[in-house]
Every structure is written in structure tokens, then in C-alpha cells.
Amino acid sequence: MKITQVPLTQCNAGPLLTNLQLNIYPIKSLRGISLPSATLCAQGLAYDRRYILLKPLPDGKHKSMFVGNMPEMALFHPTLSSSPENPWTHFTVDYRPPNPVSNQKEPLEIPFSPEIKRLKKINIEIHTDPAYPAYIMPEEINTWFSERFGYPVLLAYLGDSLGVKRDDEEAKNWIATVKPLIPGAGSAINFSDGAPLLLTSESSLEDLHPRLGGEKAVHEKFRPNIIVDGEGVPWDEDYWAEVKLVRNGLTIVLVANCSRCTSINVDLEKGRMGEGESGKLLKKMMKDRRIDKGDKWSPIFGRYGFPTHGGEIRVGDEVVVSRRNQEHTVAKKVMPRLTHVEIVV
């Protein structure tokens, strides 16, 4: 498909892209679920990153588990429930080690929205909040994960209101920074993890392939929510300030770059750091992808953004770049999570 100009009466002129893939990650740092369509809400795609795995520490605290430090997390595969009546009540997690045993147990079933009144509440440190509330799932679920990891693990539900306290100074600074960027009147936006969504381009991924010799870069390692085709123009998304769905006018404001870490070196199938050229991807990207002056030591791939209103998004949707930046976005010191922050413009 060629880059097409959309009439100004429809939206601002810009390249017309195709939405290739939609992904949610029900449990942070585990594998994702690709969807044909998804509901876009204030916290991003519905049911994205609502759970987190924790490793209990001797002092009674809990360490948030992250695939860049614990690559064995890549062996756990969530899938949607097979229930034709309502696939959104539960999801399942399947453990797929490189050398499975013959008597491997059945996948684990987990509710998308558990009854938190029945769960034990604890406080965990997450981003800038040292005491964020989390809810520990029942013993049978934690035992299932612990047996497969080989050490004690807890699954905690975070819910829909991920964030730091609204009076946090860094949160206030972030609100002041992004408020002028929100288009339209009467839009109420909640934030999570810097922004609710991560958008990447297939053309940019293809530009990474030659760096790996005979190997291919794997898009899943970058954990995007939305993948667009890029129309053969790698890294053009570095300058995107806003994209809009042609079908329903749904707008996503892109506010920051996504800096990359060791997680992109993980061998997803073996659950350990890659041993070939793909295991050196982070270092290879540092040669020319350190484009953010505010985060000058990290390579960039993808743009963080948030919706101006909710709606449905589908694979195959045409997406227009409706606003561009003249220069690269510069990262702030911290992009905090914000809890229950409503911005009305």
C-alpha cells in the first residue's frame, strides 16, 4: 500500500498506515495475546497489564519480576478463554519450557477481574510510589507459578487504576507537561506507566534485521500494544505527535519515546538471554538509535501515547499520522504512573 494523503476535511494530511496487530499483556513481563479487535479505554487496551508477578524477599518485601532480569518469564504464554459465550471472563496461562515433560500440568485459568474483597491486600513499590496497593491471588494460583519457576512467586492484581499518588510532585510536573498536548474539549484522560499505549512500526523492525546477520528481530520482544505497517519508512514514528483512526476518528496522542533495555536480548523460546546476534540487539541499537537527548544512553524504539476518548480499534484499521513534531521528543527525568488523575480540557 502506498503512502496516501487523506483529505484535510477528514483529518490533517499525513501518511495513511495500516494497523497490523493489537496486543495485550494481562500479566506484566509475560508473553502477550494478539487480538483481532480491542476496546480502547482510559488505561489503554482493556485488560492490559492488570497483574504483576512478585518474588517474596526475606525482609517481608516483594520484588517486582521483570523479564529483562528473569528471562524465564518468557516461557509463560497467556491466551484468551475458549468460552464462546464470554471469552473476557478469564484467560489462561500455559507454561512452555524448551524441554517439556510428559506429565506437564494443564494451563492455569485466571479471572480478568477478580473479586478483590476476597484477596489479601499488600503494598508494593512500583515506579515512584513506595506503597502501591496490590491484591495477592489465591494460594493455588501462586503454587502453580512457584512450581514452574522453581522458587516462591506471588501473582498480584493491580487493577485499572495503576499509578502514584496524585499529589506526587513528579506526577504534577508530568500533568503540566502533557496537558497542553491533549486536543479537543471535554476529554478526560487517565494515565498509566508514562502513557497507556505503546505504538511501534513494522518498517522500523525490518530495519533492524540486517544488524543481526541471518537472524531476524522479533517484534514481540518490544511488547507493543499497536503495530502499524510504517509504509516502508523506518523510524518515521520518531516524529509522530498524534495518530487517528480513519474509521471512527479515535485519536491517540503520542507524547514520549520508549527507551529499551536488556529485555530485547531475551530468547523468547528458551527463556534465557539470547546467545546469537539477537542476544546483542540492545548493543547494536545503541550505535544509531540513541536519539533522545533526555535519555541519551538508551536506544529508542516506539512511541508512548494515550487516547483522547474510548472506542473500538481493529486489526486492518487505517491510521493516519494527523500531527508531527519538528524535532525528537526529549524525555523528562521520570515518567511516573498517575492514579485517578483526570484532566479536562
pLDDT at 201: 97
pLDDT at 44: 81
On whether residue 8 sits in a domain, the answer given is no
Q: Per residue in 18-48, pLDDT tens?
A: 999 999 999 999 999 999 999 987 678 989 9
pLDDT at 336: 44
Q: Per residue in 139-154, pLDDT tens?
A: 999 999 999 999 999 9
On whether residue 328 sits in a domain, the answer given is yes
On whether residue 310 sits in a domain, the answer given is yes
Would you give the DSSP letter of residue 164? B
Higher-pLDDT residue of 165 and 140 is 140
Could you tell me the CA-to-CA distances from 298 to 239, 261, 282 in Å, in that order? 17, 7, 9
Using CA atoms of 83, 87, 90, 96 in order, give the dihedral in degrees to the nearest 10. 80
∠134-139-145 over CA atoms, to 5°? 85
Over residues 112-129, the mean pLDDT reads: 86
Over residues 292-315, the mean pLDDT reads: 91
Rounded Cα distance between 34 and 26, Å, is 11
∠164-301-295 over CA atoms, to 5°? 60
Would you give the DSSP letter of residue 29? T
On whether residue 9 sits in a domain, the answer given is no
**Is the overall model pTM greater than 0.85, yes or no?**
yes
Structural domain total, the chain: 1
Rounded Cα distance between 159 and 180, Å, is 28
Neighbouring residues of 296: CB distance < 8 A, sequence distance ≥ 6 = 290
Rounded Cα distance between 311 and 38, Å, is 9
Average pLDDT over all residues of the chain = 84
pLDDT at 171: 58
C-beta neighbour count of 9 within 10 angstroms: 5
CA atoms within 13 A on the CB side of 171: 21
Q: Is the pLDDT of residue 173 over 50?
A: yes
On whether residue 4 sits in a domain, the answer given is no
Phi-psi region of 127 (alpha: psi -120 to 50; beta: other; left: phi over 0): left
Q: Spell 201-236 as b/e; 16+ CB within 10 A means b.
A: bbbbbebbeebbeeeebbbebbbbbbbbbbbeeebb
On whether residue 10 sits in a domain, the answer given is no
pLDDT band at 4 (very low <50, low <70, confident <90, very high): very low
Domain of residue 311, residue span? 16-344
Q: Per residue in 187-213, pLDDT tens?
A: 444 444 557 789 999 999 999 999 999
pLDDT band at 159 (very low <50, low <70, confident <90, very high): confident
At 313, is the secondary structure helix, strand, or coil? strand
Q: Is the pLDDT of residue 305 over 90?
A: no
pLDDT band at 185 (very low <50, low <70, confident <90, very high): very low
On whether residue 3 sits in a domain, the answer given is no
Length of the chain: 345
Instruction: Provide the β-strand partners of residue 227.
Output: 21, 200
On whether residue 5 sits in a domain, the answer given is no
